[in-house]
């Protein structure tokens, strides 16, 4: 074996890297177990404990230390379907954006065109902007479109004489800006919400933002938080010198009050390090040191001093040290700094009645949006001066027409902003007063301070720069925030899924059980069939799972239930390469070669089939990754990474094990006596009987198509739109009774199915399908509860819910269709390139289309008959594409062997039908063994994987059976008939172009 040393080095390096990536998960789980033990079921207490640990070092590697927050950011996070929580898709209203950019014109054709565009966007996979431009032309609009948008606020961006193309470009750019600005605002709001490991991402090519919030159980609060309008305001500020005496007063008031209430007794163990500076009662300011930036890691003061100075124990006044070593109050609006874990306690102190009564009406204390770089675990507190307006702000963000990141004359990052005429006039007055009083102006969005720059001089024309201790990213974010203040489009929830923690725990148990049992089944089978060689394969499988989990952790991937299904499937396919290698080794041994030579030749000859079969599956994974969303992305990611790790472990690690066994002169056995001759020397007449199988496939396809076009399918809510709820009753229920009650309540047909056990049902309703606002959600939920509660003496709980708007459903269906088309085209293209003959591509296409039709037909026929859901949804699309990949996987192995035989000297003298028969028969053992292995694993997944993915695993299970049939009886015989029974071997020129892997 060449490069053995390099391969060993790679195995060691990858193993260490994976262990490092997974170690963060072990550390965070340990901290969370300790929190659970401490809280004893009190969730508030458990959260307080974890908050207190956020900035504590919990992982020490010697060369680096990690806080709990840092370790949490690097762990292998669990998806909503495993942990519980909330998943929402926000849609930016482009209709509102277009109207506001045009100052809400009264032009009838403009409004009709926009309404038509919005309606069409729900059924056509095309953007609102493009549809609007097309519809305006279609309704006969005569006024140039540019004239509507050439307002004074947009003067620098578009002119009244601009072309239609310029208008389209302008609107698309503004739509992109609105989406980016909304993303920034939502990102900040979510960070404020305090969710562990949130995931927020813009869905490329759409006006939607996907947000996943694991562990959230206050859905109403989340909806209000996400859908509230962004509020950008400018405030005058108080100086630190003015506010410090008030803070001293508050500190003095709190001490006796808290002592009498014994509040400190409720602190968590980690709060012993809450105080960052040493203080004394006699000279508090003198003992503040140089502020929090120099005292972040100093020792905690005694409990007595903390009790005497409760506010200053957790909020350090903003100070600096003079040259003489004496601390002084820092000038400016920042009045204090606190550890992130203590900000909630500071808020609690400041909101106490005895404290609120002494805070002046013109003072608000607001936190900064995020920590500064030099103090990553500390948040600054600012003193905001309120004016006589309703909100207290001197100016709001709707006057800003543009903002962008820039650089000043010293090449420092700054933000440039422009205002409209009214804003410029206000800004001139505000900045003149601030410059005269040497005050700062605070920029506040949604109640947090983004920046509080000092004003040095009056700004007369509304064009100004904001400078500070900014990074380039800071100025980009601040520019987005300033533009978000005039955000002309609202963001609404159009898709929503809520998973209760009990359902999540059940999914974890099911996933872990299926994974463990799957590993055991694969290992037992490999040893029982391949003897000692099976042990080498098993070691490779264990390494494969370890590498797969480590890489997922290093990529900060989120592990979902379909992701676990992908891992289980990977274990089944991981042995595919080993089976190909072992079957070739057995063939080489049958030719009388020594075990050493048989192993070398087995790996060499199996390599083309291994690569071709795995690449086709990988290509489908790529399609799923780009066209899928949510859990399907998790499945696609796991599938692709699993293929890479499977190739590495099957080809290299198993080979290293064989080399070790050969060096030790151990006897290597690739079979037992009973399995040594299984399907060896098979000589079935596939070509002779091909027409019989053609007839069987045609009849089966006709039946399947008849079912598809007559009975049809039950579409999942992500394809049809609507709302789905999973309901767990205390005792078993009668489905018909539940359905009858809900039909009467909703006054339309409701879909009710058993979901797992007999006391659990899944309810799907299209009531208010076109209305996704909060009021509609509340009405649907009220009617659902009304119908469910009619079953007396049987309590229930809604453990999960999902909402999908019609626009989202249309988009998901379109993406599913395109993913199927692209998968078949990409696979056919790869086969054409790899095998150089169109007959192979057509043969593979016939086989895969046959498999898809049969699988779709079975789902239609069996829907409502089998006791589990067979809805056509995103999971089914992932399943059918996986089946296509595995079907082609088997087909390619046969094609590789056929090409090998056709390229032998004098092969053209043999009967082509005999050559095709030989190719199928010689790979029959591998095809059957690989399929059986995957079927075993899928059976485990189907039985133990849980109700959520039962339909998914059933689809792949049936698909593998059908795919195995088609790869044996249809694909290669089709190549024979397309070649009209004549050889289709490569010419010498074609052979020269083929690079054998």
What is the percentage of the chain residues whose pLDDT exceeds 90?
10
* Rounded Cα gap, residues 487 and 969, in angstroms: 61
35 in Cβ contact with 46 (< 8 Å): yes
For residue 373 the two structure tokens come to: 């770089």
CA-closest candidate to residue 336, choices 302, 376, 288? 288
The rounded percent of the chain whose pLDDT value lies above 70 is: 86
C-alpha 601/C-alpha 900 separation (Å) is: 14
CB 810 within 8 A of CB 122: yes
Q: Identify the CA nearest to 568 among candidates 882, 967, 925.
A: 882
pLDDT at residue 807, as a whole number: 62
Would you say residue 521 has pLDDT above 70? yes
Whether the predicted pLDDT of 820 surpasses 80: no
Whether residue 618 has pLDDT greater than 80: yes
Yes or no: say if 227 and 185 are a contact pair by the CB < 8 Å rule.
Answer: no
What is the reported pLDDT for 763? Answer: 86
- The pLDDT tens digits of the residues spanning 482-501 come to 665 554 567 777 777 776 65
421-435, 661-675, 815-829: range with lowest mean pLDDT = 815-829
Residue 516 has a pLDDT of 81
Two tokens, residue 907:
């092969």
pLDDT at 909 over 80: no
Distance separating alpha carbons of residues 912 and 981, to the nearest angstrom: 6
Alpha carbon 187 to its chain centroid, in Å, reads: 15
Q: Strand 77-78 vs strand 558-559: parallel, antiparallel, or unpaired? A: parallel
User: Could you tell me which residue, 367 or 792, shows the higher pLDDT?
Assistant: 367
Q: Residue 628 contacts by C-beta under 8 Å, 6 or more apart in sequence?
A: 635, 636, 815, 819, 874, 877, 878
Region at 397 (left for phi over 0; alpha for psi -120 to 50; beta for the rest): alpha
pLDDT at 858: 93
Which residues, in sequence order, are CB contacts of 278 under 8 Å at separation 6+?
A: 287, 289, 298, 299, 301
CA 173 to chain centroid? 26
Helices (H) and strands (E) in the chain, counts: 35, 25
Tokens of 566: 């992908």
Provide the CATH topology of domain 394-486.
Gyrase A; domain 2 (3.30.1360)
Count of other CB atoms within 10 angstroms of residue 485: 24
Q: Which of 348-357, 386-395, 723-732 has the lowest mean pLDDT?
A: 386-395
User: Which residue, among 665, 655, 666, 662, has the nearest Cα to 11 in the 3D structure?
Assistant: 655
State the pTM of this model: 0.67
Give the 3-state secondary structure of 327-340.
Answer: EEECCCCEEEEEEH
> Is the separation of the CB atoms in 36 and 30 below 8 Å?
no
Task: Indicate whether 989 pLDDT > 50.
Answer: no
Q: Which residues pair with 798 in a beta bridge?
A: 727
Q: Which residue in this structure is represented by tokens 């890691």?
A: 297
Q: In this structure, how many other beta carbons lie within 10 angstroms of the beta carbon of residue 320?
A: 14
The sign of the dihedral angle between the CA atoms of 441, 446, 448, 450 is negative
* pLDDT for residue 994 is more than 60: no
Partnered with residue 208 across adjacent β-strands are: 91, 203
**pLDDT band, very low/low/confident/very high, at 272 (cuts 50, 70, 90):** very low
pLDDT bucket at 197, cuts 50 / 70 / 90: low
- Indicate the average pLDDT of the chain: 80
| H-type alpha helices, 789-946 | 806-835, 838-862, 874-902, 912-922, 924-944
Structure tokens at 568: 């289980």
Q: Phi first, then psi: what are they for 212, rounded to 5°?
A: -120, 125
**Which residue is associated with the tokens 């009973």?**
674
In the chain, residues under CATH classification 3.30.1360.200 are 394-486
Structure tokens at 795: 């309590």
**Cβ atoms 397, 486 nearer than 8 A:** yes
Query: Crossing angle, helix 164-193 and helix 219-227, to 10 degrees?
Result: 140
DSSP track, 333-381: SEEEEEEGGGHHHHHHHHTSHHHHTTS-TTEEEEEBSS--TTSTTEEEE
Q: How far is CA 204 from the centre of its chain?
A: 13
Distance in angstroms (rounded) separating the CA atoms of residues 666 and 668 = 6
Each residue's pLDDT tens digit, 927-976: 888 788 888 888 887 888 777 678 878 888 888 899 889 988 998 899 88
Q: How far, in Å, CA of 23 to CA of 381, rounded?
A: 36
pLDDT band at 291 (very low <50, low <70, confident <90, very high): very low
Residues of the chain with CATH 3.30.70.3400: 89-230+491-495, 722-803
Neighbouring C-beta atoms of residue 469, cutoff 10 Å: 11
- Please tell me whether residue 963 adopts helix, strand or coil conformation: helix
Phi, psi of 800 (to 5 degrees): -160, 160
Please state which CATH number belongs to domain 722-803: 3.30.70.3400
Note the CATH architecture for domain 89-230+491-495.
2-Layer Sandwich (3.30)
Q: Are 398 and 433 in contact (CB under 8 A)?
A: no
Is residue 334 scored above 90 in pLDDT?
yes
Total Cβ atoms within 10 A of residue 736:
9
Q: What is the pLDDT of residue 550?
A: 92
Instruction: Return d(Cα 37, Cα 478) in angstroms, integer.
Output: 42
Cβ distance 832 to 825 under 8 Å?
no
DSSP assignment letter at 287: G
Which tens digits make up the pLDDT trace of 223-267?
Answer: 766 776 667 788 999 999 999 999 999 988 888 877 666 544 333
| Per-residue model confidence (pLDDT) at position 70 | 83
Residue 294: the pLDDT is 43
Question: Are the C-beta atoms of residues 940 and 512 closer than 8 Å to each other?
Answer: no
Conformation bin of residue 13: beta by default, left when phi > 0, alpha when psi is -120 to 50: alpha
Q: Which two tokens stand for residue 147?
A: 């004239």
Tens-digit pLDDT profile for residues 531-562: 888 888 889 888 988 999 999 888 877 777 77
Strand partners, 448: 445
Who wins on pLDDT, 292 or 782? 782
| Residue-level pLDDT at 659 | 87
Residue among 785, 587, 833, 810 at smallest CA distance from 715: 810
Whether 339 has a pLDDT exceeding 80, the answer reads yes
Residue 155 has pLDDT above 70, yes or no: yes
Rounded to 5°, angle at Cα 93 from 89 and 99: 175
pLDDT higher than 50, residue 298: no
Given a cut of 50, whether residue 809 has pLDDT beyond it is: yes
pLDDT, residue 17, reads 92
Collapsed DSSP state (helix, strand, coil) of residue 880: helix
**Is residue 223 within 8 Å of residue 193, measured between CB atoms?**
no
Find out whether 839 and 975 touch, Cβ atoms under 8 Å.
yes
List the one residue out of 556, 548, 869, 559 whose CA is nearest residue 714.
869
User: What gap in Å lies between CA 453 and CA 435, rounded to an integer?
Assistant: 11
- Give the pLDDT confidence score for residue 277 in this predicted structure: 32
* Residue that is written with structure tokens 């609404």 in the block: 492
* Residue 384: per-residue pLDDT: 93
Tell me how crowded residue 102 is: count the other CB atoms within 10 A of its CB: 21
**Model confidence over 99-150: pLDDT tens digits?**
888 888 888 899 999 998 888 877 676 788 888 989 998 988 888 888 998 8
Q: Characterize the bridge pairing of strands 319-321 and 334-339.
A: unpaired
Predicted local distance difference test score (pLDDT) of residue 243: 92
Q: Taking the CA atoms of 467, 473, 479 and 482 in sequence, report the sign of the dihedral they define.
A: negative
Give, as one character, the DSSP assignment of residue 172: H
DSSP class of residue 756? S
Q: What is the largest CA-CA distance in the chain?
A: 107
Residue 615 CA to residue 581 CA, distance in Å, equals 17
Return the pLDDT at 908.
Answer: 67
Torsional class of 729: left (φ above 0), alpha (ψ -120 to 50), beta (otherwise): beta
d(CA 588, CA 571): 27
Tokens 């400018």, residue located: 234
CA distance 462 to 897: 75
């Amino acid at each position: 074996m060449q490069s053995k040393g390099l391969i060993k080095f790679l195995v060691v390096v990858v193993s260490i890297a994976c262990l490092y990536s997974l170690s963060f998960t072990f550390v965070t789980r340990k901290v969370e177990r300790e929190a659970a033990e401490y809280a004893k079921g009190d969730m508030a207490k458990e959260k307080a404990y974890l908050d207190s640990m956020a900035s504590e070092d919990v992982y020490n590697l010697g060369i680096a230390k990690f806080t709990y927050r840092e370790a949490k950011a690097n762990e292998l996070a669990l998806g909503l379907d495993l942990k519980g929580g909330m998943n929402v898709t926000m849609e930016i209203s482009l209709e509102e954006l277009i109207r506001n950019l045009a100052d809400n014109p009264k032009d009838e054709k403009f409004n009709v065109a926009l309404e038509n565009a919005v309606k069409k966007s729900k059924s056509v996979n095309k953007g609102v902007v493009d549809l609007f431009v097309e519809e305006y032309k279609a309704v006969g609009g005569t006024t140039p479109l540019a004239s509507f948008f050439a307002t004074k606020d947009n003067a620098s961006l578009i002119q009244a004489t601009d072309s239609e193309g310029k208008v389209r470009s302008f609107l698309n750019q503004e739509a992109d800006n609105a989406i980016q600005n909304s993303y920034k605002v939502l990102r900040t709001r979510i960070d404020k919400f305090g969710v562990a490991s949130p995931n927020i991402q813009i869905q490329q090519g759409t006006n939607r933002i996907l947000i996943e919030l694991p562990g959230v159980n206050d859905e109403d609060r989340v909806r209000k938080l996400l859908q509230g309008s962004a509020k950008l305001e400018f405030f005058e500020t108080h100086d630190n010198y003015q506010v410090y005496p008030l803070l001293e007063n508050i500190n003095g008031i709190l001490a006796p009050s808290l002592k009498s209430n014994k509040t400190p007794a409720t602190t968590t163990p980690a709060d012993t390090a809450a105080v960052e500076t040493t203080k004394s009662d006699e000279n508090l300011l003198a003992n503040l040191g140089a502020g929090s930036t120099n005292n972040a890691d100093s020792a905690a003061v005694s409990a007595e001093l903390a009790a005497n100075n409760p506010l200053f124990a957790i909020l350090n006044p903003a100070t600096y040290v003079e040259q003489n070593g004496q601390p002084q109050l820092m000038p400016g609006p920042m009045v204090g700094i606190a550890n992130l874990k203590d900000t909630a306690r500071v808020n609690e102190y400041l909101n106490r009645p005895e404290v609120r009564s002494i805070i002046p009406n013109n003072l608000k204390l607001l936190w900064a949006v995020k920590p500064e770089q030099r103090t990553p675990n500390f948040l600054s507190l600012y003193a905001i001066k309120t004016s006589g307006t309703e909100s207290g702000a001197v100016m709001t963000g709707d006057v800003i027409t543009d903002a962008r990141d820039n650089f000043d004359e010293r090449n420092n990052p700054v933000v440039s902003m422009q205002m409209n005429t009214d804003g410029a006039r206000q800004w001139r007055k505000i900045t003149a007063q601030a410059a005269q009083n040497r005050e700062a102006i605070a920029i506040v969005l949604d109640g947090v301070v983004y920046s509080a720059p000092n004003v040095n001089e009056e700004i007369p024309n509304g064009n100004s720069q904001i400078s500070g201790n900014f990074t380039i990213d800071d100025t980009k974010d601040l520019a987005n925030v300033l533009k978000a203040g005039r955000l002309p489009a609202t963001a609404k929830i159009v898709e929503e899924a809520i998973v209760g923690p009990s359902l999540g725990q059940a999914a974890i148990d099911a996933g872990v059980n299926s994974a463990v049992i799957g590993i055991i089944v694969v290992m037992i089978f490999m040893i029982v069939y391949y003897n000692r060689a099976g042990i080498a394969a098993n070691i490779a499988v264990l390494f494969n799972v370890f590498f797969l989990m480590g890489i997922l952790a290093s990529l900060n991937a989120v592990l979902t239930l379909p992701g676990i299904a992908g891992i289980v499937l990977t274990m089944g396919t991981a042995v595919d390469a080993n089976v190909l290698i072992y079957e070739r080794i057995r063939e080489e041994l049958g030719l009388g070669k020594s075990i050493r030579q048989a192993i070398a030749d087995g790996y060499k000859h199996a390599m083309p089939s291994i690569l071709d079969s795995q690449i086709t599956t990988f290509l489908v994974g790529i399609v799923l990754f780009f066209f899928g969303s949510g859990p399907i992305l998790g499945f696609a990611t796991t599938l692709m990474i699993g293929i890479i790790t499977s190739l590495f472990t099957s080809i290299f690690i198993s080979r290293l094990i064989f080399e070790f066994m050969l060096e030790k002169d151990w006897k290597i056995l690739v079979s037992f006596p009973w399995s040594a001759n299984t399907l060896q020397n098979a000589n079935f007449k596939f070509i002779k009987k091909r027409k019989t199988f053609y007839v069987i496939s045609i009849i089966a396809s006709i039946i399947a198509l008849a079912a598809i076009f007559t009975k049809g399918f039950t579409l999942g809510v992500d394809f049809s739109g609507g709302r789905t709820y999973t309901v767990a009753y205390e005792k078993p229920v009668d489905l018909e009774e539940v359905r009858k009650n809900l039909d009467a309540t909703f006054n339309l047909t409701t879909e009710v199915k058993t979901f797992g056990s007999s006391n659990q049902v899944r309810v799907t309703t299209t009531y208010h399908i076109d209305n996704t606002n909060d009021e509609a959600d509340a009405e649907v939920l009220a009617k659902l509860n009304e119908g469910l509660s009619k079953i007396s003496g049987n309590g229930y709980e809604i453990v999960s819910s999902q909402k999908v708007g019609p626009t989202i459903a249309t988009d998901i269906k379109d993406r599913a269709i395109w993913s199927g088309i692209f998968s078949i085209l990409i696979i056919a293209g790869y086969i054409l390139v790899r095998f150089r003959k169109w007959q192979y591509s057509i043969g593979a296409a016939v086989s895969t289309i046959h498999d898809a039709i049969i699988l779709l037909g079975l789902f239609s026929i069996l829907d409502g008959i089998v006791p589990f859901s067979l809805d056509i949804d995103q999971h089914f699309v992932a399943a059918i594409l996986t089946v296509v990949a595995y079907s082609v996987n088997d087909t390619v192995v046969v094609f590789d062997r056929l090409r090998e035989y056709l390229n032998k000297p004098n092969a053209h003298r043999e009967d082509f039908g005999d050559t095709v028969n030989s190719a199928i028969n010689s790979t029959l053992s591998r095809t059957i063994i690989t399929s059986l292995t995957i079927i075993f694993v899928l059976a485990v997944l189907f039985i133990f994987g849980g109700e959520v993915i039962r339909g998914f695993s059933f689809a792949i299970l049936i698909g593998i059976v059908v795919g195995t049939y088609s790869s044996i009886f249809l694909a290669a015989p089709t190549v024979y008939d397309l070649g009209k029974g004549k050889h289709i071997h490569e010419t010498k020129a074609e052979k020269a172009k083929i690079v054998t892997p």
